[in-house]
Amino acid sequence: MRTPPKLVLSAVLMIGVAFGGLAVDSVRSTPAQALNNGLVRTPPMGFNDWNAFGCDVSEQLIKQTADSFVSSGLKAAGYQYVNIDDCWMTHSRDPQTGRLVPDPAKFPDGIDGTADYVHSLGLKLGIYEDAGTATCAGYPGSLGHETVDAQTFADWGVDYLKYDNCNNAGSTTTQQYIDRYSAMRDALAATGRPIVYSICEWGVNSPWLWAPSVGNLWRTTGDISDGWNSLKSIIRENLPLYPYAGAGAFNDPDMLEIGNGGMTDTEYRTHFAVWSMFAAPLLIGSDLRQATPATMNILLNKDIIAIDQDPLSKQAKPISDSNGHVVLAKPLQGGDVAVALYNESDTAARISTTVGAAGLPKATAYRQKDLWTGTSTETAGTISAVVPPHGTAIYRLSKDSKWANLPPSADLSVTLPGAAATGSQPVVNPNTPVDVQTALTDNGRAPLISAAVTLTAPAGWTVTVKSSPIGVAIQSGKPFKSQWTIAPPAGAGPGSYQVSASAVYNWTGGSWQTITTTTAFVVAKPPPSGVSYLSDLDWLSASNDWGPVEKDRSNGETGAADGHTITINGVTYAKGLGTNAPAEIDYYLDGRCSTVSTDVGIDDEKNGSPANATFIIYADGTEVANSGAMTAADPAKHLSGSLAGAQVLRLVADDNGSPDSDHTDWAGAQITC
Ligand code: GLA
């Protein structure tokens, strides 16, 4: 055992453990070099049990999963590592050898027996440990036991180690992190067995800055969960990390949730496409023994796997990003480029970029392969699609001298130009016909010939064509626009509706093409004439930091109707809205209202707390009143503003950067219409 270098000695003493075989000096001198173990030159692909099973791991599960790799075609598609997560061992080490002991009930044949089986199928086995005194689930950790644990894993035939960060003996600094993770790196190297090393410190100490020379991959973020908000925020956090990924050293945005049931197939497709653009590990996190065809279709998409596994091993760069419309470009071996159009927003959107922005060299036209449908078109340079909310279009762009054999690429958009804009779906009045515009755009070199556009409104609605939907020859880059009106049946109820457009067209190659786009919109009730309390009206949307927005009571934080009578500095109000900043509520006005007026303040139930918030009122995005920062000690302020002509009223309670349980009351809030 070598003496730890001076700098880390205090950290070692503090955590009271001894390190074996440290080589942190080399870490410091070569911070940007990829870990030189020759493994995973492209991102690892496989399975990990944690997302679907938590602590319910077993030999049977691992063996059955390995079987399904073979029978379902996953192995043939490149999935290789079958990984065991936390909870595989007993609560104490072997008193004689100091080795970790597999739970005999869960792993009757031990990890070595399980590994033998997995290896017999031509697959590899992964395991989990922790750079702390205990794993996250409380089993013995490896801190101070790196040498014996690495040797144990090697003896068992383990091929991959995920190394976690719980119970890390109070380590906080980057150097302490480097030391803990390097100790296991060196212990693994000393065994002589090739073992992929996956660092799991959740992005705490910016691992992308130091982990490339320590591990093969590093978690960049906290644990993923099976829901859209989790997926969305992890994608956001990983967008800027593209410079740090390379062969053998990858950013790890966490394991896949595809197939676990908490997201739509559109969202799961985004998960898979964006992970592949990120050159992220593709570790399946659902129960493969019960996978649906929809799940397998996503996981087995060979064209998208090829983007993830491209030998250049580059992570896609965001080349544009506005209003939740993100374009990613990933250079591929041989000069192709993968382009993803990711719609983070809640409304269908036309997202576009160009081959130039994506980094392709100049050419007359390019092959654009849609990796979800497998079909190829030619583009003159624009890459564009109407992408559903939370969806991702993904293409492979290539220079191709035979582009003229391919149909021109096109996109079709549907917009409701007269509808109120709230930042989410378009909003219309139930009693008024709605204008709709379709635009068919040829992004190819060759024209679209004999195009016909049709529009389908919700059942019971009438569709009227106001300008010709027939385009004889649509030229590249010149959108063919048609105007329509859709009218609701009498008494159409408030709610969410869909309108869809289809275009059929031919091209010089002579085969008919079809393209369909669907857009959702909201029918909202206009407010009644006269003075109304907002708490007596239906809102379009409401978001709140804790619990639901309350009507005629303060925010009680969790369930509905758990607040109290609205009270600001001893003054009580029978009517009003109880929110918890940050909060945002939208009301539909239909251009019929003149004023909004309300008292605002932090409810007396937060007296003595650090609550601090600002109340802001917007009419169609224009600020019409602002309270300035208020604390629980302030008396109510009166806010009023003009709503003349506005379609949408928005009330915002801003937490001023600290969501410290701000019970923000809109006391006696009313509008005059
Ligand atoms: C941490 C990791 C997870 C999982 C659990 C197991 O939370 O980030 O991926 O390994 O521990 O306890």
pLDDT tens for residues 528-562? Answer: 999 999 999 999 989 898 889 999 999 988 888 88
- C-beta of residue 379 within 8 angstroms of C-beta of residue 405: no
Ligand 1, atom 3, lies closest to the CA of 223
User: Position of tokens 């998960």?
Assistant: 271
pLDDT for 658 equals 85
Nearest-atom number in ligand 1 for the CA of 165 is: 1
Half-sphere exposure of 253 (CA within 13 A, CB side): 27
Would you state the structure tokens that stand for residue 182, as one six-digit string? 């390097």
Would you state the structure tokens that stand for residue 275, as one six-digit string? 């992970």
The 10s digit of each residue's pLDDT in 410-463 is: 999 999 988 887 667 889 988 889 999 999 999 999 999 999 999 999 999 999
pLDDT for 423 equals 65
Distance CA(230)–CA(657), nearest Å, equals: 21
Helix (H) or strand (E) holding 296: helix 293-299
Half-sphere exposure of 633 (CA within 13 A, CB side): 3
Distance CA(421)–CA(436), nearest Å, equals: 14
Span from the CA of 175 to the centroid of ligand 1 (angstroms): 22
Distance CA(554)–CA(533), nearest Å, equals: 15
Nearest-atom number in ligand 1 for the CA of 223 is: 8
Nearest-atom number in ligand 1 for the CA of 222 is: 8
pLDDT band at 34 (very low <50, low <70, confident <90, very high): low
Comma-separated ranges of CATH 3.20.20.70 domains in the chain: 11-311
- C-beta of residue 281 within 8 angstroms of C-beta of residue 344: no
**Top mutation candidate among 49, 86, 135 for ligand 1, by most atoms within 8 Å of CB:** 86
- Residue 340's identity, in one-letter code, is A
Is 603 a catalytic site residue? no
Nearest-atom number in ligand 1 for the CA of 255 is: 9
Q: Spot the catalytic one: 164, 336, 603, 604.
A: 164
Residue bearing the bigger pLDDT, 659 or 232? 232
Ligand 1, atom 8, lies closest to the CA of 223
Helix (H) or strand (E) holding 28: helix 24-29
- Residue 156's identity, in one-letter code, is W
Radius of gyration of the chain, Cα coordinates, nearest whole angstrom: 29
CATH number of 409-524: 2.60.40.10
Q: Spot the catalytic one: 116, 223, 634, 660.
A: 223
Comma-separated ranges of CATH 2.60.40.1180 domains in the chain: 316-406
What is the third-level CATH fold of 531-672?
Answer: Jelly Rolls (2.60.120)
pLDDT for 23 equals 33
Distance CA(493)–CA(457), nearest Å, equals: 15
* % of the chain exceeding 90 in pLDDT: 87
Comma-separated ranges of CATH 2.60.120.1060 domains in the chain: 531-672
Angle between helices 59-72 and 110-120 (to 10 degrees): 10
What is the third-level CATH fold of 316-406?
Answer: Immunoglobulin-like (2.60.40)
DSSP codes joined into one string, 297-339: HHHT-HHHHHHHT-TT-PPPEEEEEETTEEEEEEE-GGG-EEE
Span from the CA of 164 to the centroid of ligand 1 (angstroms): 7
Do strands 217-219 and 250-252 pair parallel, antiparallel, or not at all (unpaired)?
Answer: parallel
- C-beta of residue 198 within 8 angstroms of C-beta of residue 129: no
Whole-number Cα distances in Å, 651 to 403, 549, 599, 621: 53, 12, 12, 11
pLDDT for 32 equals 40
Residue 548 class from Cβ within 10 Å (0-12 exposed, 13-18 middle, 19+ buried)? Answer: buried
The 10s digit of each residue's pLDDT in 325-370 is: 999 999 999 999 999 999 999 889 999 999 999 999 999 999 999 9
**Top mutation candidate among 49, 50, 166 for ligand 1, by most atoms within 8 Å of CB:** 50
Residue 521, C-beta contacts closer than 8 angstroms, at least 6 positions apart:
416, 419, 425, 426, 427, 428, 434, 496, 497, 498, 499
Nearest Cα to Cα of residue 668 among 527, 574, 564: 574
Span from the CA of 426 to the centroid of ligand 1 (angstroms): 41
Cis check for the bond before 488: say yes or no (omega within 30 of 0): no
Show the ligand 1 pocket: residues with CB < 6 angstroms.
50, 85-86, 128, 135-137, 164, 200, 202, 223
The 10s digit of each residue's pLDDT in 571-626 is: 999 999 999 999 999 999 999 999 999 999 999 999 888 999 999 999 998 999 99
Would you state the structure tokens that stand for residue 82, as one six-digit string? 């079958």
Q: 35-39, 46-50, 454-458, 515-519: which range is least confident on average?
A: 35-39
Comma-separated ranges of CATH 2.60.40.10 domains in the chain: 409-524
How many residues appear in the chain?
A: 673
Cα distance from N-terminal residue to C-terminal residue, the chain: 81
Span from the CA of 174 to the centroid of ligand 1 (angstroms): 20
Span from the CA of 177 to the centroid of ligand 1 (angstroms): 17
Ligand 1, atom 11, lies closest to the CA of 136
Nearest Cα to Cα of residue 54 among 84, 17, 20: 84
Is 155 a catalytic site residue? no
Nearest-atom number in ligand 1 for the CA of 136 is: 12
Whether the predicted pLDDT of 377 surpasses 90: yes
Nearest-atom number in ligand 1 for the CA of 54 is: 6
Ligand 1, atom 1, lies closest to the CA of 136
Ligand 1, atom 12, lies closest to the CA of 136
Span from the CA of 136 to the centroid of ligand 1 (angstroms): 6
Mean residue pLDDT of the chain comes to 93
Span from the CA of 128 to the centroid of ligand 1 (angstroms): 9
Span from the CA of 223 to the centroid of ligand 1 (angstroms): 7
| pTM of the model as a whole | 0.88
- Residue 417's identity, in one-letter code, is P
The 10s digit of each residue's pLDDT in 634-643 is: 999 999 999 9
User: Position of tokens 């490339």?
Assistant: 212
pLDDT for 29 equals 34
Helix (H) or strand (E) holding 276: helix 265-277
Nearest-atom number in ligand 1 for the CA of 202 is: 8
Residue 424, C-beta contacts closer than 8 angstroms, at least 6 positions apart:
345, 346, 347, 541
Would you state the structure tokens that stand for residue 400, as one six-digit string? 């191709």
661 backbone φψ class: left, alpha, beta (φ>0; ψ -120 to 50) = left
CATH of 11-311, one of 3.30.450.20, 3.20.20.70, 3.30.565.10, 3.40.50.740: 3.20.20.70
Do strands 196-199 and 217-219 pair parallel, antiparallel, or not at all (unpaired)?
Answer: parallel
Span from the CA of 168 to the centroid of ligand 1 (angstroms): 14
Angle between helices 174-191 and 6-15 (to 10 degrees): 90
Do strands 622-631 and 612-619 pair parallel, antiparallel, or not at all (unpaired)?
Answer: antiparallel
